[in-house]
Amino acid sequence: MKQKWELWLKNGAILDYDFKKYLEKETIRKGATKIEIDGHLSKAKRNLHFSRRILDDLKDFYEWSIVSYYYSVYQAALALCALKGYKTKSHIATISILIKFFYPKHITELDLQTVAKTVMVEEDIREFVELKSYREDATYSISVEYERKLAENLGKKAIEFVNKAEKIISE
């Protein structure tokens, strides 16, 4: 069964319906400011730095590095939401905003290659959700062992996402 966000990528009507419901229920609220954009982006960068310090200095606490990397991506996503004037505390609602406002709907694959560095593409959305899943496992599971290599790989994805968000915001 497809995840809700996967349906949104394929069907704009479902996304629009769910987005409207999020607004009605105030899961998504209007009114974000420049201060919030800057604050979320700053927090995303701090979380990246913290994650790296966990890997380098604390050793063997890879699950906390993964959790912090996830939150760096989430904070960057919240900065993008704020850029469009929205606030949310719901992870899935945040993803809906990313897809609604940053996922290109009417461009070709060739166009995607040209604009991939300045817009959210499907791979970015998938990585965001994948990292959220790792964060949940790292937080709640006692059976999942994390290696430094996995934390490093997730860190690279998080850095790429935060950098892309920063570039979009600065344009």
The CATH number linked to 59 is: 1.20.120.330
In the chain, % of residues over pLDDT 90: 45
Query: Measured in whole angstroms, how far is the alpha carbon of residue 169 from the centre of its chain?
Result: 14
| Structure tokens belonging to residue 96 | 């809906």
pLDDT for res 107: 31
| Phi, psi at 16, each rounded to 5° | -60, -40
Total number of domains in the chain: 1
Return the top range by mean pLDDT from 34-38, 131-135, 138-142: 34-38
- SS3 state at 56: helix
| Integer CA distances (angstroms), 45 to 2, 23, 60, 135, in order | 32, 28, 22, 17
Say what the pLDDT of residue 121 is: 64
Higher per-residue confidence, 86 vs 10 = 86
Phi and psi at 89, nearest 5°, equal -120, 10
Query: In this model, does residue 120 exceed pLDDT 70?
Result: no
Residue indicated by tokens 């906390």: 64
> Which residue(s) pair with 86 in the sheet?
30
Q: pLDDT tens, 24-55?
A: 999 999 999 999 999 999 999 999 999 999 98
**φ/ψ (deg, to 5) at 112:** -60, -40
**Once rounded to an integer, what is the mean pLDDT over residues 117-131?**
69
Residue 106 confidence (pLDDT): 40
Q: What is the pLDDT of residue 27?
A: 96
| pLDDT score recorded for residue 94 | 92
pLDDT in tens, 97-108: 998 998 875 433
pLDDT of residue 22: 97
Q: Which domain holds residue 123?
A: 4-170
Hey, is 28 helix, strand or coil?
strand
1: pLDDT strictly greater than 70: no
Mean pLDDT of 148-159: 86
- Position with higher pLDDT, 29 vs 56: 29
Residue 49: predicted pLDDT: 97
